[in-house]
Amino acid sequence: MKIAVCVSHVPDTATKIKIADDSKTIDPNGVTYIINPYDEFAVEEALKTKEKFGGEVVVISVGSESNKESIKKALAMGVDRGILLKDDNPRDSFGVAKVLAEEIKNEQCEIVFFGKQSVDYDNSITGQLTAELLGYQCISVVVDLKFEGEKVIAEREIEGGREVVESRLPVVITAQKGLNEPRYASLKGIMAAKKKVIEEKPAAGSKPTVEILKMHKPPAKQPGRILGTDSSVVPELVRLLREEAKVI
């Protein structure tokens, strides 16, 4: 079984983001980058799948030299080898999916794992686009997964509940929190990762389908309001929650 896992290199969620002077990109100064948290679930599931059925797991990332940090993290967790599709310029989801699909085709991977979204641009679409370009089945936002021969049975999160779906190989799975508990890269794994290969190739050019016009921060949070300190304000509180905040 040949398995691919695609990872994105994103700003640490604890980092405070500043928008660059061009208003179209973020200022990378002082930003720590990490492997996209949802991609860690994807890596863990890829490793578990390999442990069950044998085969090889290859990690693929599209981006600049620094993406190698996230590739190395996956290698330290136990992935067999890495591929960096190098492009120093940011590209849209379609541009990422296009080069990933080509590489996955070359690699002839039957199962492909993604995180359900990357926490930088939050488009939640790269996995699905890649599946479409490859002509693979796709199951997104997966919280439980089983392979039975050619059959794939997955539980996925939907609004207000869960559904169980069945599909078949080859398949793209996008991982949701809850699918598994990602392992720590062991010290042995980190030392072993040094000897694993990261193949680097230029990512084929791609015409953007989406252009970023402007980035801005959300408006500052409004301060809270104290209605009173005893039970007499409860009716007013309920009214405000219902009519103003519209949360109940």
Partner 1 sequence: MNKFTGVDYYNIDSLFSEEELMIRDTVREFVSDEIIPIIEKHAREATFPIHLISKMAELGLFGSTLPQKYGGSEMNNVAYGLVMQELERGDSGIRSFVSVQSALVMYPIFAFGSEEQKEFWLPKLANGAKIGCFGLTEPDYGSNPGGMITKAEKVAGGYLLNGAKMWITNGTIADAAIVWAKLDGIIQGFIVEKGTKGFSAPEMKGKHSLRASVTSELIFDNVRIPEDNILPKTEGLKNALMCLNQARYGIAWGVVGAMMVCYDTALNYSKSRIQFGKPIAAYQMTQEKLVYMLTEITKAQLLNTQLGRMKDDGTLKHTHVSMAKRNNCEKALEIARIAREILGANGILDEYPIMRHSANLESVKTYEGTHEMHTLIIGEDITGYPAFE
Scan residues 75-134 and list those touching partner 1 (CB under 8 A): 76
How would you classify the pairing of strands 151-158 and 161-168?
antiparallel
How would you classify the pairing of strands 81-86 and 198-202?
parallel
Q: Specify whether the CB–CB gap between 63 and 9 falls below 8 A.
A: yes
How would you classify the pairing of strands 137-148 and 151-158?
antiparallel
The binder of partner 1 chosen from 105, 146, 162, 188 (CB under 8 A) = 188
Nearer Cβ to partner 1, position 14 or 226? 14
Nearer Cβ to partner 1, position 134 or 179? 179
The binder of partner 1 chosen from 191, 197, 234, 238 (CB under 8 A) = 191
Quick check: 73 binds partner 1 (CB under 8 A)? yes
- How many residues bind partner 1 (CB under 8 A)? The answer is 14
Binding mask 7-26 for partner 1 (x = CB under 8 A): -------x------------
How far apart, in whole angstroms, are the C-alpha atoms of residue 102 and residue 178?
Answer: 30
Stretch that binds partner 1, among 3-11, 141-149, 179-187, 220-228 (CB under 8 A): 179-187
Quick check: 184 binds partner 1 (CB under 8 A)? yes
Locate all alpha helices (DSSP H) within the chain, ordered by sequence: 37-53, 68-77, 93-107, 126-134, 187-193, 234-243
> Closest Cα partner for 118 from 137, 106, 100?
100
Nearer Cβ to partner 1, position 148 or 181? 181
Quick check: 187 binds partner 1 (CB under 8 A)? yes
Stretch that binds partner 1, among 59-67, 113-121, 183-191, 228-236 (CB under 8 A): 183-191
Q: Specify whether the CB–CB gap between 31 and 72 falls below 8 A.
A: no
Quick check: 195 binds partner 1 (CB under 8 A)? no
Quick check: 66 binds partner 1 (CB under 8 A)? no
How far apart, in whole angstroms, are the C-alpha atoms of residue 27 and residue 154?
Answer: 39
How would you classify the pairing of strands 151-158 and 33-35?
unpaired
Would you tell me which residues interact with partner 1 (CB under 8 A)? 14, 32, 72-73, 76, 184-191, 194
